Each structure stands twice: as structure tokens, then as C-alpha cells.
Amino acid sequence: MAIVPGTAGYAQEAPDLLDRYERREFADVHSKTIHLFPAAPADALDIGAGTGRDAGGLARRGYDVVAVEPVAEMREGAIRLHPEPNITWVDDGLPDLKVVSGLGLSFDLVIMNAVLMHLDTKTRAKALTTIASLIRPNGILELSFRHGPVPEGRTMFDISGDEITQLGQGLGLETIFEDEAPSGEQAGVSWTRMVLRKP
């Protein structure tokens, strides 16, 4: 498969990331938004699943999860860390999600953490168009993106909540939650977390 935009650096850092990302619990990461998630059982899509922390957290709560991770080193490590039988792992990537789209599925919940800032303006718009088409009525999209200095070897772009809200409106998605908070781990870094709903 072709290199997916924004994945530079992740294969080389996979061993460290597989350890570091798993230190934070699913419930802690999503503490401000989990009350907005649809009740399980439900179908969830985790885009840029990384170490599988979120996919595993959802699976243990009764969701059937399709976990998308384009970096083989991350995906293989995540499968070892999270062998839950109700997770289906997929080698796929934005903006097209060709494999997932080909499955003919739709989802009650889509999670996309620490992904969107890796995509340039045009690719972000295309990615959100693809994602919106996969969300069921009353379905939820939760996403987060980073602000601050770009780590060496990575590709990141600055994004605003207003941009995502406007893109969402054009796709029939309404913003129902937005919050920006300091990283707590990296000086000068903050994260925006948003939830959009398809009426």
C-alpha cells in the first residue's frame, strides 16, 4: 500500500509509542466526551488506531470495532496488545479509506485521535467527506488534534476548531462539544478535542 499522508516517523518510533501511549487509560483520555458516545452494543470505527488503546477500550465496553492503522509496525504491536475478538484490524488510511469503504459498513461512533493535524487543508476536507459518509444518523465523530511545535521528522499542520465546525456543517455534521487543554506532558503543546454529530 502507498505511504499514507502524515505517517512519517511513526514506524521508526513504534516501540516507544507502543509503550508511551498505553500509559494513559481509555477512560481518562475520553473523560470529557465519553458521555456523548452511543450506548453499546454499537459499531465503532477507530481511525489511526495506533497502539489500539481506544479500540481496546471500546471493545471491552461492548462495541464492535473496526480499527484502522496504516503503519504496519504500530498495527502489529497493537494487535499483540489488544487481542479482543470484537476488533477487526484493517490496513487502510485517509483520505479515502478505500478498504473500509469497500466493506459496505456504517458506524454509530467514529474516533480519530491525533490524526487530522497530519493532513493538509485539501486532504483534511477530503478525509472528513469520507468519514461523514460512514456515519449513521445520530452517529458521533470524536476527534482530537494538536497545537504547538512540530516534532522533528513529523509533518503537522495548524487546525482550528472553527475550520472543523465549518467543514462539518457542509457535510451535515453539527459540533456539539469543543475543548482545548494543555498537553500536561509537553511544554507549549495543547490539544483540541471535538465531538460532531450527524442528525
Residue 190 scores a pLDDT above 50: yes
**Grid cell 516501540 — which residue?**
15
29 against 5, higher pLDDT: 29
DSSP symbols for 44-112 = EEEET-TTSHHHHHHHHTT-EEEEE---HHHHHHHHHH---TTEEEE---TTT-HHHHHTT--EEEEEE
pLDDT band at 151 (very low <50, low <70, confident <90, very high): confident
**60 Cα distance to chain centroid:** 18
**54 Cα distance to chain centroid:** 9
Interval 99-128: pLDDT, tens: 999 999 999 999 999 999 999 999 999 999
Q: Where are the alpha helices (DSSP H) in 105-189?
A: 121-134, 161-170
Q: Which three cell numbers stand for residue 8?
A: 512519517
H helix count then E strand count, the chain: 7, 7
Tell me the C-alpha distance between 1 and 6, whole Å: 14
SS3 123: helix
Mean pLDDT value of segment 31-45: 98
Average confidence score pLDDT of the chain: 90
SS3 124: helix
Against a cut of 0.85, is the pTM above it? yes
pLDDT band at 17 (very low <50, low <70, confident <90, very high): low
Q: What is the pLDDT of residue 18?
A: 55
